[in-house]
Amino acid sequence: MDFKWLEDFLTLAETRSFSRSAELRGVTQSAFSRRIRALEEWMGTDLLSRDSYPVTLTPEGVLFRETAEEAVRMITSRRAEFREQSRARGGEISFLSLHSLSVTFLPGWLMRLKSAAGQMTSRVKPENFDRCIEALSEGGYDFFLTYAHPQVNIPLDPERYPHLVVGQDSLVAVARPGWPREWLTEGMPLLQYSRGSFLNQMTRIAQGQPGAPKIYVAHIDEASMAEAMKSMAVAGHGVVWLPRLLVEAEIAAGKLEIVAPELPMQIRLYRNPLRGRGLTGRVWQVASTLDEGYSKTE
């Protein structure tokens, strides 16, 4: 069970309105409804009666409200205690990051950041793009590290969520060397990310460039994990568009080769403006000057 489901339920128990609760929780109404339904499925019973407006709690929902309130109170209190201990040791900074960036760009960049900004504890949550946007909007994290391209919408208000460009990468189409030459005329088997995923959007842009290979879809990764797609490509299943930083070692070792022009991507760091304590501000300032070749605001 996800802890935020409890907070969602308590918000709904207070407002008795799905639309108002979704607004307060900073998510779409459909996403909020899915989370409430997921909680009910996890509990094995209906917690709400949806036959009337405003919505009402079922008898089970009334009982569970007391449990949820106590659980949230206890967990929130303990979390505050732990964070206070962390601040006493030098402070904690929290990051959301796309999965592939958490294993390529983030480790080295974070070491340089800590070296320049001073002692701190770091907390990193690798997630897919949509979950990172949602978690940043909910206010539980300081920063969000993501790829960016002018043709891909990042649904964060630039006035509320400023960003820095802290690095560069590119999307490359790679396949195992020795692939059949008839793929040039018949089309290469494409390993495709799930529809609607961030890397699927980037792949469509890259595939539209001059010189991109003729393709047909041979495999769809519903989890949209770039690391899993890389393994499929190394095994010879077809061509896949991947961040270059993720496949540099395989390219150098001759396990993969680039088969199309690359698509440049920025690596951006977004800031949660609601978490403006001194440590966050210091980290932001250091990040803006860390890499002279990259770091800049837009």
> What CATH number is attached to the domain comprising 67?
1.10.10.10
Verify that 228 and 115 share a domain, yes or no: yes
Count of domains forming the chain: 2
Q: Are residues 77 and 188 in the same domain?
A: no
Q: What pLDDT is attached to residue 119?
A: 77
Shared domain check, 164 and 36:
no
Residues 73 and 104 in one domain: no
Are 27 and 165 in the same domain?
no
Specify whether 77 is located in the same domain as 93.
no
Please check whether residues 68 and 93 belong to one and the same domain: no
Looking at the structure, tell me whether residues 61 and 111 fall in a common domain.
no
DSSP assignment letter at 239: B
Q: What is the pLDDT of residue 273?
A: 79
Are residue 103 and residue 63 in the same domain, yes or no?
A: no
80 and 196 both lie in a single domain: no
Structural domain span for residue 226? 89-298
What is the model's pLDDT at position 86? 56
Question: Which of 67, 85, 103 is the last residue in one of the domains?
Answer: 85
> For residues 146 and 288, what is the distance between their CA atoms, to the nearest angstrom?
16
Q: Which residues neighbour 75 within 8 Å (Cβ) at sequence distance 6 or greater?
A: 3
Q: Supply 7's token pair.
A: 């907070």
What pLDDT tens digit does each residue of the chain (298 aa) get? 788 899 999 999 999 999 999 888 888 888 899 999 999 999 999 999 888 788 999 999 999 999 999 998 888 888 777 666 655 555 788 999 999 999 999 999 999 998 998 878 889 999 989 889 988 888 778 999 999 999 998 989 888 899 999 999 999 999 999 988 788 788 889 999 988 789 999 999 999 999 898 999 998 887 678 999 999 999 999 999 999 999 999 999 999 999 999 999 999 999 987 765 678 888 999 999 886 444 454 4
Question: Distance between CA atoms of 119 and 27, rounded to whole angstroms?
Answer: 34
Is the previous residue joined to 213 through a cis bond, with omega within 30 degrees of 0?
no
| Alpha-carbon gap, residue 141 to 151, rounded angstroms | 26
- 63, 76, 93, 80: which is closest to 287 by C-alpha? 93
CA distance linking residue 80 with residue 152, whole number of Å: 37
Q: What's the CATH number where 293 sits?
A: 3.40.190.290
Q: Are residues 234 and 140 in the same domain?
A: yes
- Would the pTM count as exceeding 0.75? no
Do residues 36 and 76 share a domain? yes
Single out the residue in 46, 69, 85 at which a domain terminates: 85
